[in-house]
Structure 1
Amino acid sequence: MEIILKCIGILLAWWIGLQTIGVLLVSFQIQNPNVSILSSQVIMLLIALTLKRKSKIVWNDKERVNIIFVIGAVLTGIGLAFFSPISGVMQILTGNLGAQGPGSITASFMIFALLAPVAEEFFYRGIMMNLLRTRFGAGKMIFISSLLFAVAHFSAFMWIHTFVCGMLCGYYYYRSGKIVVPMIIHFVNNFIWGCLIPIYMLWKGYTSVEGTVSTEYNSLMELLTPFIISILIGILIIAATEIIMNKLIRTNGTKKYLK
């Protein structure tokens, strides 16, 4: 319980820092959402690096990262992106997409696809998961760190997606012993839903709800069917990747678990 409370305390430290930055941004009348998100990632990264130095946590084992895990991470990231079919729709409904131009898309790419995977994997897998594994087994430490990861996104729309993302990133970190492997999963996932989907919708001219998203459905199933199909495709990709990866691991005698 002490370790869980410590992880919650670390998360609260990040939240307090985020709220402090938010107050400063409001004071200076800075309303760009990319600035807020960037601040969040920078705070998270600074906390992770500070705790790593103080606690002497080792993020990687001494072996070189195996190409099997790299390929598996890329394919898993693609499968994971299918768990978020609602992300593009959310941007339309909230009006965020219509405000985006080339500069905003570039900023989103830098934050969502490049910085977030590094900062968040250092924070949740590098720090929290390593703290949790001093008291818990693999399943519990992956589950708890993933739950904290999901809750910290403060969006009910994203809880399932972020929780699954946390579970997969935690699992691959545990399997590979390399922090870069979950970063790859995170990068691919964020790049698809955070960058490619907005670019595609802008290219198609989808900047508002009108003519893009129907708000009338004959049944609940009609509304949910596209999301269910998307999730099933994601599960299929992830499961197939895991089966193939396990066969390659057994064939090549690759080390399996984080020590």
Structure 2
Amino acid sequence: MLCTALIIILCLVANLHQIQSLHTAEQPTCTSGKECNHDGLPSTDPSYIAAKDHPVYMVTDDKWKEMTFIELHDHLDCYPHARNQSKAYYTEEMYNHMKAKYSELTGHNFEPLSNEQDVFHIAMSEGAGRGVFASRDIKKGEIIPFDATCSVVTFTDGQLWKEYIFSLPRTMACDVMEWTWTQNVHSMGDIRLCLSIGDGDSYLNNADIDEDINIAPSDLTSMKFEATRDIPKGEELIYDYDVFEPTEYSRFGLGHLLEVTELEES
């Protein structure tokens, strides 16, 4: 009787190990942007799996056209990703993929990036995830050359922006939603949906208190930032997100302003 019970227990343990091995095999992970589809799974296809083609996140019958910002955020399950404070840095390949998709939709040609950037670098910011830090001492009034490593693109059409979102892998799309803002780009009040693609102002963190602010836009229609005081090497570059408020997503058919503001603050 004892031998029979022991055999049964050994069989159960063996089966459990087999199930765990199968589960592990079905859910491999990787860290390289070149080898992953940006949802953590290895991809045999050199391209990334777009949300519109993903079996979980694809939307049929053009229902995506009616989605608000919040509905889209919910549909792509962006909350866990947004709260993940250990997200990896983007690779050049990832940025090139984002730019290629934007070019496919708009016909925009990106200029070659400058290699002269020595002012800032990307690193982990305690309690805030990725951040931007001074690589050298920066003088008050100095322009921060974010345009040396990244490109700010704009959308005049909310539908085109949503089409762009669905052309990207899920977590990349979630990052784009986090990095998008609205801004007057001309003094006449030409409001655009804006997005920074590259290692630069997309990683800027918000100031908890006014004393933390050390950079600001040159003016409210400018996409250039300048130092508001002397910044020592190693200090994080921080600005006030509210400088571009209110975010007028409602102008682009992306839902009510109050809804989006509550989402961003949650």
- Length-normalised TM-score, structure 2: 0.24
Larger RCO, structures 1/2 (Cα 8 Å, 6+ apart): 1
Higher helix share: 1
Larger radius of gyration: 2
